[in-house]
Amino acid sequence: MDGVRAHLARDDEQHERDSPQQGLQRDHCVVAAVKVPPEGCDRGDGGKGHSGEEGVQREPMSSTGIGNRRQRDEQTREVTPSHGSLASRSGRTVLLCSSAVATLTWLGHSAFMLGSDRGKRIYVDPFLTGNPKTPEDEKVPDRVDVICVTHGHGDHVGDTVELSRRFPDAPIVCQVELKDWLGGQGANIGEMPGLNKGGSIELDGITYALTNAFHSSSTPDGTYAGEACGIVIKLEEELTVYFAGDTCVFGDMQLIRHLWGPDYAALPIGDHFTMGPREAAIAIDMLGNPRVIPCHWGTFPLLRGTPDQLQEEAESATIVRMEPGDTIELE
């Protein structure tokens, strides 16, 4: 019997050596909403985030706007303050699990980190260091796999050039004129030209497509940057997220519904520079009533639209209310 046990132990060790990615996948996923302990609690890091920031206490995010969660029997594990698994400042709501699932972290304004089914970290409109709503521990990512930019305005281009310098292997997905400009600023744009509206590209099993948007687009130095776009991202398991960028509502959102059938839509609701809650409610209907993450609101006083106003305008819609830094599981 001792010989059998020894043989089985050797087999287990060999399996771990032969399958290093299996262990990695277990570290990059999520299961149930938990509350990160406040600063100073026993969580294995002395109660400090990697930037030493103070925690912000808030109530856990309601899960009623996220839909019925798949039943799992995995146990919730400890959270570390890094997107090495899932990042969260103390007091922030996160979701945790032990099998690969897609996640979405709102970083304030229109900046998001989309975590794919297989662990890719996709940053969309990465306005981070200059963003007053981005949590301190999210301003300097420790890994970036893809960068997506909807248009050339500074509050969307944000840290794209710096991130590309730090992570030169991360492809940049954006319109062709904007990509050329980013290359002139020192971003690593590679040999592949940028996309244009209606175009798509597949990278590592994930599809990226540019859609229409109605908004202006120029770079921070005034250079022509093509036109504003939306971006559709279809992940490895075909879950689809539509990032509208900056736009008003427009009738061809119905085409986005028919072409892509988004499961989730990140829609601007702040008004003044983009559509407000009333127009966004019509957009939800045109898109086929996906689950909606409101964005581009509350960053500055001019952006006065709120998720509550959106819910009033679209009573039957599923509005996922998030605070900057919150992470949700996509399903």
Neighbouring residues of 225: CB distance < 8 A, sequence distance ≥ 6? 151, 152, 175, 177, 178, 181, 217, 218, 219
Ordered per-residue pLDDT tens for the chain, 331 residues = 444 444 444 444 444 444 443 333 333 333 333 333 333 333 333 333 333 333 333 333 333 334 333 333 333 323 333 343 343 444 454 444 435 799 999 999 999 999 999 999 999 999 999 999 999 999 999 999 999 999 999 999 999 999 999 999 999 999 999 999 999 999 999 999 999 999 999 999 999 999 999 999 999 999 999 999 999 999 999 999 999 999 999 999 999 999 999 999 999 999 999 999 999 999 999 999 999 999 999 999 999 999 999 999 999 999 999 999 999 999 8
C-alpha dihedral sign at 49, 51, 54, 56 = negative
Tokens 């590209």 found at? 201
**SS3 state of residue 288:** coil
The Cα–Cα gap between 53 and 70 comes to 34
Output the pLDDT for position 99.
Answer: 54
**What residues form DSSP beta bridges with 115?**
103, 121
Q: What's the start-to-end Cα distance of the chain, in Å? A: 45
Task: Kindly state the greatest CA–CA separation across the chain.
Answer: 76
| pLDDT at res. 100 | 78
Structure tokens at 294: 């409101």
The angle formed by the CA atoms of residues 81, 86 and 88, to the nearest 5 degrees, is: 45
Domain locations in the chain as residue ranges? 101-330
Pairing of strands 240-243, 200-203: unpaired
Among residues 164, 147, 168, the alpha carbon closest in space to that of 156 is found at 147
Distance in angstroms (rounded) separating the CA atoms of residues 218 and 81 = 35
Class of 101-330 in CATH: alpha beta
Alpha-carbon gap, residue 150 to 172, rounded angstroms: 11
DSSP state of 163: H
Indicate the residue type of 123: Y
Using the structure block, give the residue that is written with the tokens 């969660």. 69
H helices present in the chain, as ranges? 2-18, 20-26, 154-157, 160-166, 176-184, 253-260, 277-286, 307-313
